[in-house]
Structures are given as structure tokens and as C-alpha cells.
A and B are shown apart, each in its own frame.
Chain A
Amino acid sequence: QSVLTQPPSASGTPGQRVTISCSGTSSNIGSNTVNWYQVLPGTAPKLLIYRNNERPSGVPDRFSGSKSGTSASLAISGLQSEDEADYYCAAWDDSLNVHWVFGGGTKLTVL
């Protein structure tokens, strides 16, 4: 059972806008920034969004992140077939047992 909660699946058609949610608590998302990772089949995870809404160099501006309270979202606009992947959210957790926590992942299917 992952600490951060994500829907197991999401889908959209090419050109559409899809969002993936990530729910946490006051000790993780509520008090720390959120990162998003993309895992394409057979490849290393790739940092997509850091500090809630910042994109590393090379990540298209079709990808955007947001955070409100204890929840965060990843939005992908202008959906493309190559966006079909697993997406994970992550945050530092300030609880007594401090450590990084991840979501269970969302498999995005481009129909």
C-alpha cells in the first residue's frame, strides 16, 4: 500500500488533456513539494516535474503540475501516443519516520 494515492489508470485520445491526481497528508504533500516521474516501458524513470510545477530542461510544456493542500495533479495537454507510460508522484514525508514516499503509479493509456 503506497503512502501517496493515485488512480491506477487513466486514458485519453490524442490531442486531449488528461489529469492524474495524487493525494497525501499534511506530513508529506501538505508540507513539502511534489515531484512527478514518467516511466516508459523498459526505460529508466524520468523526472517530469519538480517542486510542484517546475519542468527540467527538455520536458515539453505540455506537462504541468499543481498542488493544493494535501493533493497534487499532473496535467498533460495535447496528448500524444508517446505519452503512454506509468506516472508516479513523490514527496518527502516529515513524519517521525522521515523519508521519501511515492504514489502507487498511474498507467496512462492513449486510445
Chain B
Amino acid sequence: QVHLQESGPGLVKPSQTLSLTCTVSGGSISSAGYYWSWIRQHPGKGLEWIGYSYYSGSTYYNPSLNSRVTVSVDTSKNQFSLKLNSLTAADTAVYYCARCSGSLHAFDIWGQGTVVTVSS
């Protein structure tokens, strides 16, 4: 049973860079056919896909965030990470890591989510 767990700071200052890590347990991040993803939910709003990375390093990002976001995979640690720079209060959200299955064409496993507040 694959399990995902987010970790990172809960409070970040405006203009700084958010760094979150998702640890994958119960399976290998190098397994073929999966895209390792970040998704967020602003307070009281719907879900927003941020981007994902294949274990090989190929990345795909939401065009609205493309210039500020980096998703990367560390196969040696079985982790993947999110970096989002130039933060503003509008980036305050619950951030989820998730696995996107190529065969199901769906996000089939999700982490519990971590609350990130951008405030000085």
C-alpha cells in the first residue's frame, strides 16, 4: 500500500520560496507509469493542480504557475518536492502531494495535506 506524506514549513513570509517534500512509502517512486504531483486548495475554494514530475525528471506545470514552480524527484530518497517562489498571500492554501496514475488517468493516491500560510 503506497502512502504519501507531506512535510515542510507551515508559515512562510511573502516574497520567499516555499519548499515542500513528499515522502513515498510502500512503493518505489521510480515505478513506471506514475506522475508525482502537487495540488493545492485555497481556503473555501476548489482544488488547483500545480504540476507533476515523472521519475525520469520530465515535468509538467499549470501554466498559471509555470514561472514560479519547480517539481523534482529524488529517487535515492524516494521523495519528491515542490518549490514555489515569489510567494504572496494568495499562495496560502492546503498543499497536497498525490500520485497520478497513467493507466487510470487519475490521481489515485493522496497525502493528508499540509497547511501553508503566507504572512509576514
Residues of A within 8 A of B (CB): 2, 32-33, 35, 37, 43-47, 50-51, 54, 56, 88, 90, 92, 97-105
B16 interfacial by beta-carbon distance below 8 Å: no
Give complex CA distance A24, B60 in Å.
Answer: 22
Most chain-A CB neighbours within 10 Å: which of B64, B104, B112? B104
Residues in B lying within 8 Å of A, measured CB to CB = 45-49, 60-64, 96, 98, 104-113
Report whether A37 and B107 are in contact in the complex, using a CB–CB cutoff of 8 Å: yes
Measured between beta carbons, the chain A residues less than 8 angstroms from B111 are 44
A-B contact count (CB 8 A): 62
The B interface is mostly helix, strand or loop, or mixed, namely strand
Q: Which residues of chain B are within 8 angstroms of A54 by Cβ–Cβ distance?
A: 104
A102 in complex: contacting residue of B47, B110, B112, CB < 8 Å = B47
- Interface pair B49/A51, CB less than 8 Å apart: no
A51 touches B105 (CB 8 A): yes
Closest chain B residue, CB of each to CB of A92: B105
Q: Are A50 and B106 in contact (CB under 8 A)?
A: yes
Taking the nearest CB of chain B, how far is it from the CB of A88, in angstroms?
Answer: 6
CB–CB A35/B113 < 8 A = no
What residues of chain A lie closer than 8 Å to B47, measured between beta carbons? Answer: 37, 45, 88, 90, 102, 105
- CB contacts (< 8 Å) of B112 on chain A: these are 43-44
Pairs across A and B, CB under 8 Å, 14 listed:
A33-B105, A37-B47, A43-B112, A44-B111, A44-B113, A45-B96, A45-B98, A47-B106, A47-B107, A51-B104, A88-B46, A92-B105, A100-B49, A103-B46
Whether A97 pairs with B46 at a CB distance below 8 angstroms is: no
A44 to B10, CA, bound (A): 18
A83 to B47, CA, bound (A): 20
* 6 smallest beta-carbon distances between A and B, as pairs: A97-B63, A104-B46, A50-B106, A100-B49, A102-B47, A35-B106
